[in-house]
Amino acid sequence: MTWFWILPFVITTLLAHYIRALRWEMLFTNKEKVPSKTTLFTGVLFGYLVNIPLPRVGEVARPVYVARQVDESNSKIIGTIVLERVVDLLGMLLLMAFVVVFLVADPQVLSRLFGVDITSSETQLSFFLTLLKFGLIAAAGL
């Protein structure tokens, strides 16, 4: 194993979490009580820490931690998490629409990509419905 990759990995991971904290900061409407970037970043990391033993509980622990740090109600901070998930869902749906328009629209691309002959309309419909089903499952799993 090459230890050379550990430092870039750690830096990239921390940067991604910091960007997530910055994105979370943009969702606060009351600009007077916006938590500091450090508090939000710590909240993101705390949420991931809680997710290790208890999956998905970190999504609740993150806003509760931040609410206690800034003396704000839990419901207001949890509202930003719900809004964040709605934005994520819209992004996923936009990505699915892009795939449908540019990938599924051309059966030859699908045939080359998946190695399956998708020239008949019956096979195309079946393939499209399968992609739609997996896309909806992925979107629901956000």
Q: CA-to-CA distance for 94 and 22, rounded, in angstroms?
A: 22
Specify whether the CB–CB gap between 84 and 94 falls below 8 A. no
Q: pLDDT per residue over 19-54, tens digit each?
A: 999 999 998 877 778 899 999 999 999 999 999 999
Q: pLDDT per residue over 71-103, tens digit each?
A: 888 888 999 999 998 988 898 888 888 877 776
Domain boundaries, the chain: 3-88
Per-residue model confidence (pLDDT) at position 141: 62
**pTM value surpassing 0.95:** no
